């Protein structure tokens, strides 16, 4: 502890546990400087960005940041926190966009980035075991060097950790072929709130009751800290065939994608853009009045098989009036696929956010139109663009971008929250799911009760059992918060119900 404690630190907590914590972590691995505490007071939740760029905190400062160097050290941190009643938040890389790592009550941040080793590549079982704090980009590069990919390639690949992928139940850009992270995780290890280690051995499949693994995957740190993951791996594809398509209508594009999936073809990349986004990306390729809708498909794998799948898909596309266009938009997308676009808008005082939901094919057209019309009614100046990626035989992820022009922050925050409410409620009313892969964090709390029904009580019961003192990531995942903690939902004036 080389720096004085920052403002916002709760003085009564400091003497009780900071010194022993510093002792067990060793020199340089407990951060308490004001700069460090500010850096860990937010993630990529846009609501947090809107506050931080004005010099405000979205929640509170953390009390300190612990950086354990191994599993036993992490267990010791958890036991000390439990003994002292210290709330904590596991921290991967802070790329979450729902406020999962935003401290609401001066929590201790537990940064996992020192747990950053690949433990074993098992080429016979086609699996790799990796520590949870490893950077996603470094992990994928390590695999690529050996001829493999883990198939999970989120846009945030280089700014996220492997553990964060599993904790948030994320989806990579090739998920249509390789699955979401819950399809890729074979086994895991985690430290529970009482300090014990939970291990789920990696096996192909099992039938021993409900999946314990899936209690951790998607629990966003509330039930335990994931320390190790065993993931599926695939050989790097020998061939890639990217195609760019123009469709005469959005419905024709949706129907083509549905048929491609229901005929059991396996594109790795599927992206269908609405007219707004198509116009921005596809003009040079031929998007216009006759073909207002752009789509990108990629098939990969063994050269003959990938080419055959592409050709079969193109027959389906032609049946819906789709036309193959010049491949500029595919090459552009490949080149920029890991870049983040939000800073360019947010640094210019715009209020930008993205909302991803899941709908069945029968629900998606209405889901799109009702959300679009609802947002236009709310604010005619709001930008609204949508694409459909992460596609299944049953339905797809609908990924929406909203952008408000510069305006007074209070007014923008009110419109921003109302826009979320419209999108989530339309989705619920049509029977979809309010999140496909970004997770819940704190910002989605208001809509979880309607999403999960009695299921939310089951999660709360499990939480109460595992973590009776409510120390792991309190107040997130719509689970009970701590008395006196910042309530971001209430601060935003949402009309939704809060579970706490
Ligand atoms: C520009 C941009 C693009 C994005 N693109 C995608 C995308 O394509 N696909 C996608 O799925 N997401 C995407 N995201 C969201 C985000 O990157 C993912 O949710 C990512 O998986 C979070 O990983 P992280 O390591 O940064 O987690 P953090 O933000 O550090 O943590 C997120 C949550 O998980 C918990 N947590 C983190 N690590 C652990 C652990 N080891 N054990 C238990 N709990 C843990 C935290 O407490 C927190 O609640 C994007 C975000 C940005 C900013």
pLDDT digits (tens, 9 = 90+) for 73-102: 999 999 999 999 999 999 999 999 999 999
Q: Which residues pair with 300 in a beta bridge?
A: 240
| 295-315 CB burial, b ≥16 within 10 A, e <16 | bbbbbbbeeeebeebbeebbe
- Choosing from 49, 88, 96, 397 the residue with most ligand 1 atoms within 8 A of its CB, the one to mutate for a pocket test is 96
Whether ipTM exceeds 0.95:
yes
Protein residue with its CA nearest to atom 16 in ligand 1: 96
Ligand 1: residue of 74, 110, 133, 154 to mutate (most ligand atoms within 8 A of CB) is 154
| Residue-wise pLDDT tens digits, 440-488 | 999 999 999 999 999 999 999 999 999 999 999 999 999 999 999 999 8
Reference 245, options 175, 172, 330; nearest CA is 330
Q: Is the pLDDT of residue 59 over 60?
A: yes
Distance between CA atoms of residues 196 and 192, nearest Å: 5
Q: What atom in ligand 1 is closest to the CA of residue 340?
A: 1
Confirm whether residue 223 is marked as ligand binding: yes
Q: Is residue 119 marked as binding?
A: no
Confidence band of 500 (pLDDT split at 50, 70, 90): very low
Catalytic residues: 399
Atom of ligand 1 nearest to the CA of 441: 49
Please tell me the predicted confidence (pLDDT) of residue 489.
78
Round the average pLDDT of the chain to a whole number and report it: 94
Mutate to test the pocket of ligand 1, among 46, 87, 137, 167 (most ligand atoms within 8 A of CB): 167
Residue nearest atom 7 of ligand 1, based on CA coordinates = 154
Residue 12 has pLDDT above 80, yes or no: no
Question: pLDDT band at residue 496, thresholds of 50, 70 and 90?
Answer: very low
pLDDT at 492: 58
Whether 2 has a pLDDT exceeding 60, the answer reads: no
Which of 48-57, 166-175, 210-219 is the least confident region?
48-57
Asked if pLDDT for residue 493 goes beyond 70, the answer is no
Looking at the predicted structure, is the pLDDT value of residue 344 above 90?
no
> Is 385 among the annotated ligand-binding positions?
no
Give the mean model confidence (pLDDT) for residues 154-167.
98
Please tell me the predicted confidence (pLDDT) of residue 75.
98
Q: Can you read off the two tokens belonging to residue 255? A: 């129907």
Under the banding of pLDDT at 50, 70 and 90, the label for residue 185 is very high
CA separation, residue 214 to residues 23, 61, 155, 166, 395 (Å): 35, 31, 23, 10, 22
CA distance 190 to 198: 5
Residue nearest to atom 50 of ligand 1 (CA): 156
List, for residues 284-336, the tens digit of each pLDDT value.
Answer: 999 999 999 999 999 999 999 999 999 999 999 999 999 999 999 999 999 99
Return the pLDDT at 4.
Answer: 33
Q: Is the pLDDT of residue 13 over 60?
A: no
pLDDT given for residue 123 in this prediction: 98
Q: Using 50, 70 and 90 to split pLDDT, how confident is the model at 14?
A: low
Nearest atom of ligand 1 to the alpha carbon of 43: 29
pLDDT at 190 over 90: yes
Given the CA of residue 341, which atom of ligand 1 is nearest to it?
1
Q: What residues are in contact with ligand 1 under a 6 Å CB criterion? A: 43-44, 89-97, 100-101, 112, 132, 154-156, 160-161, 163-165, 167-168, 170-171, 220-221, 225-226, 340, 437-439, 473, 476
Percentage of the chain modeled with pLDDT above 70: 95
What's the CA-to-centroid distance between 49 and ligand 1, angstroms? 16
What's the average model confidence in pLDDT over 428-434?
A: 98
> 341 pLDDT band (50/70/90 cuts)?
confident
59 is in an annotated binding site: no
SS (H, E, C) the chain: CCCCCCCCCCCCCHHHHHHHHHHHHCCCCEECCHHHHHHCCCCCCHHHHHHHCCCCCCCCCCCEEECCCCHHHHHHHHHHHHHHCCCEEEECCCCCCCCCCCCCCCCEEEECCCCCCEEEEECCCCEEEEECCCEHHHHHHHHHHCCEECCCCCCCHHHCEHHHHHHHCCCCCCHHHHCCHHHHEEEEEEECCCCCEEEECCCCCCCCCCCCHHHHCCCCCCCCEEEEEEEECEECCCEEEEEEEEECCHHHHHHHHHHHHHCCCCCCEEEEECHHHHHHHHCCCCCCCCCCEEEEEEEEECHHHHHHHHHHHHHHHHHCCCEEECCHHHHHHHHHCCCCCHHHHHCCCCEEEEEEEEEECCCHHHHHHHHHHHHHHHCCCCEEEEEEEEECCCEEEEEEEEEECCCCHHHHHHHHHHHHHHHHHHHHHHCCECCCCCCCCCCCHHHHHHHHCHHHHHHHHHHHHHCCCCCECCCCCCCCCCCCCCCHHHHCCCCCCCCC
- pLDDT > 90: what percent of the chain? 91
């Amino acid at each position: 502890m080389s720096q004085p404690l920052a403002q916002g630190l709760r003085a009564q907590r400091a003497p009780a546990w900071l010194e022993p914590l510093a002792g067990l972590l060793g020199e340089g691995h407990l951060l308490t400087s004001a700069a460090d505490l500010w850096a860990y007071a937010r993630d990529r939740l846009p609501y947090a960005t809107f506050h931080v760029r004005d010099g405000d905190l979205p929640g509170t400062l953390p009390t300190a940041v612990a950086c354990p160097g191994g599993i036993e050290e992490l267990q010791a941190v958890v036991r000390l926190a439990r003994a002292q009643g210290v709330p904590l938040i596991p921290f991967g890389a802070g790329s979450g966009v729902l406020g999962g790592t935003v401290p609401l009550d001066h929590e201790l941040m537990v940064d996992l980035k020192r747990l950053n080793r690949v433990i074993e590549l098992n080429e016979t079982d086609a699996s790799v075991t990796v520590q949870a704090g490893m950077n996603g980009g470094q992990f994928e590069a390590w695999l690529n060097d050996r001829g493999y990919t883990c198939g999970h390639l989120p846009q945030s690949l280089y700014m996220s950790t492997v553990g964060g992928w599993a904790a948030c139940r994320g989806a990579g850009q090739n998920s249509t072929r390789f699955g979401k992270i819950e399809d890729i995780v074979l086994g895991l290890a985690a430290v529970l709130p009482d300090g014990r280690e939970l291990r789920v051995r990696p096996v192909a499949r099992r039938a021993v009751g409900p999946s314990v693994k899936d209690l951790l995957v998607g629990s966003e740190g509330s039930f335990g800290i994931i320390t190790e993951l065993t993931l599926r791996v695939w050989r790097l594809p020998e061939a890639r065939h990217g195609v760019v398509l123009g469709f005469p209508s959005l419905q024709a594009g949706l129907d083509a994608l549905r048929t491609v999936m229901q005929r059991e073809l396996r594109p790795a990349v599927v992206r269908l853009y609405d007219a707004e986004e198509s116009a921005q990306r596809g003009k040079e390729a031929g998007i216009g009045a006759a073909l207002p809708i752009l789509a990108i498909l990629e098939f990969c794998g063994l050269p003959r098989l990938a080419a055959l799948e592409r050709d079969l898909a193109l027959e389906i596309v032609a049946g819906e009036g789709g036309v193959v266009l010049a491949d500029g938009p595919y090459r552009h997308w490949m080149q920029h696929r890991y870049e983040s676009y939000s800073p360019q808008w947010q640094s210019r005082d715009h209020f930008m956010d993205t909302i991803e939901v899941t709908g069945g094919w029968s629900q998606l057209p209405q889901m799109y139109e009702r959300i679009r019309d609802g947002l236009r009614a709310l604010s005619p100046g709001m930008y609204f663009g949508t694409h459909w990626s992460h596609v299944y035989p049953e339905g797809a992820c609908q990924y929406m971008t909203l952008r408000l022009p510069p305006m007074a922050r209070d007014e923008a925050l009110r419109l921003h929250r109302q826009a979320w409410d419209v999108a989530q409620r339309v989705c619920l009313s049509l029977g979809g799911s309010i999140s496909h892969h970004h997770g819940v964090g704190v910002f989605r709390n208001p809509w979880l009760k309607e999403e999960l029904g009695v299921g939310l009580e089951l999660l709360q019961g499990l939480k109460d059992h595992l973590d009776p003192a409510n120390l792991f990531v309190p107040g997130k995942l719509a689970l009970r918060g701590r008395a006196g903690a910042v309530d971001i939902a209430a601060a935003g004036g949402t009309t939704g119900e809060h579970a706490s």
